[in-house]
Structure 1
Amino acid sequence: MPVISSSRLALRAFSVINRPQPNYPGHVPLTFVERGALAVGSAVGSLLNPRRGDLIAALGEATATPYFIYRLRDAMLSSPTGRRILRDRPRITSETLSLPYLRSLPVNSVGRAYAAWLDREGVSPDTRSSVQYIDDEECAYVMQRYRECHDFYHAVTGLPTVVEGELALKAFEFLNTLIPMTGLSLFAVVRLKPTERERFFSLHMPWAVRNGLASEELINVYWEEVLERDVDELRAELGIERPPDLRELRRTMRLQRKREKERQAQEML
């Protein structure tokens, strides 16, 4: 009788109806086929509806393994601050960060900019989904940390949550983190209006490429320790230029359209 190795038995045992024990609370082990189906399904769903955060989160986890999330974990291990974050395992929630305190900080501080951005966009630090589909427990935390820090990236850059702003930030994140989901999200550029698409490729895409390649790894920023720092100083330290003000650009474009309509109406009188 041929001898079957324990590893082959383990592989054979891992099926849809016979899964291994989870590696951490909330972990859902997936077969190779399931992971592929999750990646395709969440990619299509998030393209159809870019505001489905749950689908974007699933796409991020399904495509981050086996290489990319380990690369990001190793980037943290290569940094003294990154190693401290991995050791301390801080979480970013409304319980761990006092929003009233952040709102009381000086106007140009990191914490005040973060709280002001949350208030302006109507979002909360508690909206980030928990990681489920990454098998390695430490790498699952790395993905959770990236996910919870995303709003800090918005606050530091000033990019809003409209599709155009999210795409600009995702392009930046892709070059900074190499997480595939951030690059795949750029397919949503087809949803932009022609004027928005032209603006994205002429202004924000060059900014994202330039800064994503040159800036420090943002995963290694211990945001909880820089809340009182000046946001301009931190941005300069990280090597990030402030992108063109998208809200102001959109406001200017609306005013131009309004004036053009008024001018046309006057000419018809």
Structure 2
Amino acid sequence: MAPIAASFSDQALGPVAGLPQCRVQYDSHMPTTPLQKIVLSVTSALTVFTNPERGDMLAALGEVTGRDALRRIHARMCADPVGARILAEKPVIRNDRIDMDYLRALPDDSFGRHYATFMDSHGFDADGRSLVRFVDDPELAYVMQRHRESHDFWHTLFDVPPTVLGEIALKYVEMAHSKLPVSALSAFVGPLRLSSEERCLLMVYVPWANRASKNAHSLHCVMYEEEFKTPIEELRQRLNIEVAPPLPDSSEHYKRHRDDEH
């Protein structure tokens, strides 16, 4: 398969995201009619409500319901110098693009070293993010892919562990920052999986998430790949990142990222 970046950029029609297309627009694209999108949104939402572990359905729901939010993110990226460069170059965050051995050898205080430690300690890899399929416009599809692939960078910068509670806390940040409907669904459905004690803890993190999302620099307009050598505290200060309050990280709470998680 051709590189993901090429699969988006070869088909992109310009800086302004256009109307949905019926033909295949990029390698992983699965064109759907408006009726099929409605059916998919309903079935995926019902599935996620009954089984929150179905990351594939959560990803599909995000793609068929996120067009307006993706357009807003795209517009913000176009208006930002770094965001515009990201849209033009379309970098991807995959195993064949990131040298993890290099990141592991960086200084202890660097963003890249912290990211590598996060990924290694939880057994994650960059290819764990599913490819976008149901977003018709290739420009918006790339925005969704970039959003999805940046998730572990945000875990690292906000210092949020990948526990169920931690994922929900980060989803609150994403909900306020990106306005993607699927982030809101995750933020409100996710607490159903928490114990009563964890729900009380969540009340500490919701106010933090609201502050952090409002104060942070546009998270979609950062070329994270060029910041690996940067001391993480310097990067947090530049992006106005407020680190999360300490979350319990006992092993029984940890959940792994699934291949098709959003």
Larger % of helix: which? 1
Work out which of the residue numbers 46, 54, 57 in structure 2 matches 1:55. Answer: 57
Report deviation, 1:138: 0.8
Q: Summarize the alignment of residues 90-109 of structure 1 with structure 2, pairs less than 5 Å apart.
A: 90-109=91-110
Q: CA separation in 1, counterparts of 2:117 and 2:134?
A: 32
Work out which of the residue numbers 25, 28, 32 in structure 1 matches 2:27. Answer: 25
Report deviation, 1:45: 2.4
Aligned to 2:201: 199
**1:73 and 1:142 in contact (8 A); partners too:** yes
Q: Summarize the alignment of residues 145-156 of structure 1 with structure 2, pairs less than 5 Å apart.
A: 145-156=146-157
Aligned to 1:247: 248
**2:22 and 2:33 in contact (8 A); partners too:** no
Query: Alpha-carbon deviations, 1:98-151, whole Å to 9, x = none?
Result: 001101111121111111111112111101111111111111111111111111
Aligned to 1:115: 116
Report deviation, 1:51: 3.6
Gaps of 5+ in 2: 1-20, 252-262
Change (3 A) 1:160 1:46: farther
Q: CA separation in 2, counterparts of 1:47 and 1:162?
A: 19
Q: CA separation in 2, counterparts of 1:243 and 1:216?
A: 16
Q: Helix, strand or coil for the counterpart of 1:155? A: helix
Query: Alpha-carbon deviations, 1:217-245, whole Å to 9, x = none?
Result: 10001001101101111112111111112
Q: Helix, strand or coil for the counterpart of 1:246? A: coil
Aligned identity (percent) is 39
Q: CA separation in 1, counterparts of 2:22 and 2:88?
A: 27
**1:47 and 1:185 in contact (8 A); partners too:** no
Q: CA separation in 2, counterparts of 1:51 and 1:110?
A: 30
Q: CA separation in 2, counterparts of 1:56 and 1:145?
A: 17
Matched, 1:41 2:43: yes
Aligned to 1:12: none
**2:22 and 2:32 in contact (8 A); partners too:** no
Q: CA separation in 1, counterparts of 2:104 and 2:170?
A: 24
How many positions carry a matched residue from both structures? Answer: 230
TM-score by length of 2: 0.83
Aligned to 1:133: 134
Higher RCO (CA 8 Å, separation ≥ 6 residues): 2
- Coordinate RMSD, CA, aligned: 1.6
Matched, 1:64 2:85: no
Report deviation, 1:49: 3.6
Aligned to 2:182: 181
